[in-house]
Amino acid sequence: MRTVHDTLFRGTMVLHQPARGQGYRVNVDAVLLAWFAGQARRSRHAVDLGAGVGAVALSLLYRGRVDAVTLVERDRELSALATKNLAANGWQGRGACVCADVTDMNALEQGFADLAICNPPYVPPGRGRAPKVAAGARVGELGSFTSAARRALGPRGRVAFVYPAHELTALFAELRNAGLEPKSLCFVHATRDDPARVALVLALPAKKGGLVVAPPFIERDGGRPSEGLLALLHPRDDLPAAGVRSRAADRE
């Protein structure tokens, strides 16, 4: 696999990832998930399930919202890149990558994390067509990720997911099957006039009810990145993006 040296946050965070056409590449969903997951209290230890090259966990470290991270990724090449990204950003002492499938969480201690983050596959096996170069990253059973998240969490832990908005009922069902109750929801829209593209969901091992629906997040305004998106991609200034594009932009 050919790889490239990209960056996030206008060059202030290193991101080694597959070159275009070589595998699944990071998009804005990782940044959105890190922002959403980091809005609550600072976390002691976060686990990134199906971490890929580690963009979500790295973004949480970058924003100072977590003390330590464990990345779980089954693909050996992506796992190696995630380890490389931790070191490249100077965080090798605050994180580690475990090369394992989320269905084999016995590799990790039960209840060790107070935050689980997950940008899971958007296509279940046998449903739809996945791009050939990214089939391993884009296809998977959602229930495996919700179950793994529950096992990794301590009694006061929380889990944050990003998932297609039109499949939100499936996510809620799998969270509840795993003993997790959705408590916070934010819809992400490409523009104000478009239907929701993805949903950001925070869930807890708690009683049913009490769901809070936050104001929607709008990615583009008048053909340009919205102020909210610019603030996420460039927390230190408002210059053009480096290293990551939204899925909406990739369709243009």
pLDDT value of position 107? 72
In contact, 118 and 48? CB cutoff 8 Å:
yes
Task: Of 213, 120, 130, 215, give the one whose Cα is nearest residue 174.
Answer: 120
Measured distance CA(183)–CA(57) in Å, rounded: 21
Tokens representing 247?
């899925």
- Give the per-residue pLDDT at 40: 77
User: What are the residues whose beta carbons fall under 8 Å from the beta carbon of 242, sequence distance 6 or more?
Assistant: 6, 7, 8, 9, 10, 11
Rounded Cα–Cα distance for residues 44 and 3 (Å): 31
The pLDDT, as a whole number, for residue 140 is 55
Taking only the tens of pLDDT, the chain with its 252 residues reads 899 999 999 899 999 999 999 888 999 999 999 999 998 789 999 999 999 999 999 999 999 999 999 999 999 999 999 999 999 999 999 999 999 999 887 778 899 999 999 998 776 544 444 444 344 444 458 999 999 999 999 888 999 999 999 999 999 999 999 999 999 999 999 999 999 999 999 999 988 889 999 999 999 999 999 999 999 998 754 333 333 333 333 333
**CA-based torsion, 184, 190, 191, 196: positive or negative:** negative
User: What is the structure's pLDDT at 237?
Assistant: 42
Q: Which pLDDT score, from 0 to 100, does residue 247 have?
A: 38
The values of phi and psi at residue 228, to 5°, are -65, -40
Q: Specify the pLDDT at position 124.
A: 57
**How many whole angstroms from its chain centre is CA 66?**
14
CATH 3.40.50.150 fits 27-233, yes or no: yes
Domain limits, the chain = 27-233
Q: What SS3 state is found at 208?
A: coil
Give the 3-state secondary structure of residue 146.
helix
